[in-house]
Structure 1
């Protein structure tokens, strides 16, 4: 068996079908709750949804009046978003099919990485994370999930995994507002049994 998860002629079609009716991710909803409490909540916010998939989080942001730059390396995912966006949301949506390490990050109130950053190649992760941190405005937020070292997929060399201590060291410029660790057996979106080790994070940037 190859130790590369994403180089085995990966076809995301079944995954897209499995998640199409799912709600937005908990990390995004937690972040939006914090934004709703901010003093400048009346302004129009700008978000990057990186590794957006078919847009579960993208559409929630659009429904709430955000401007959104949705990116995913899979063109098919971007096509699905474009096919489903309503006319009244189109002016607030920008999309691009691009890998993390080739992405031009933009100054953002929120960078949302639902379940995408674990799929960043380890030799590119540090630079991608630096770009994420630099792109978030002061008082802006990050929301997303990371895989821990006990995750079943940690056998794959082309994915990125973190210890809790390493992960928290990545947020020295942030106040962590929400942190949850999941370490349990479960299933993937397509019904395959899997042990999950996931850290869910929402954090507000407090310094450059």
Structure 2
């Protein structure tokens, strides 16, 4: 069980490393396109969310096996990133809709370069959305089962381990793990709410 947990956490970290920059880049590209091109590109980029996880898992496995890549952590990361990128893109796009473009123009007018404007103006504004999307990506990765099942190879992530135990008979270890996850989620939510209220009161 511990090995499965560490496997899931490793996959989640790798997924975050992939989906946050790619999803952010996709959101920036979409917001800079014209209306017609944006609608078409948006439909294409969001389509993985409408695709069943089983289809994504099987198609990923078939494609990469033809290229000589077998199942394992790499394939799990690629398969999960296919649809988790969409969540990141949507969250960053929602944040970008409230961004005042005159801030960029003012920074450029004062002599800042494009990379500096991105680093000093846009990135701090997007930080809440990036952190939230990274947290959502971790949750989506850890709890994913349908896609992971087909591309896992000889690896056993936590969801596959739990599903196997459910079929063969639950043990007290699985119940204890569920309790730990619930307690951790509640404690994390309480700490976040306390920190948020302190910032609001300051």
Given the two structures, how large is their TM-score scaled by the length of structure 2? 0.26
Which one has a larger percent strand, Structure 1 or Structure 2?
1
Given the two structures, how large is their TM-score scaled by the length of structure 1? 0.26
State which structure, 1 or 2, has the greater radius of gyration over its C-alpha atoms. 2
Which one has a larger percent helix, Structure 1 or Structure 2?
2
**Higher RCO, 1 or 2 (CA under 8 Å, sep at least 6)?**
2
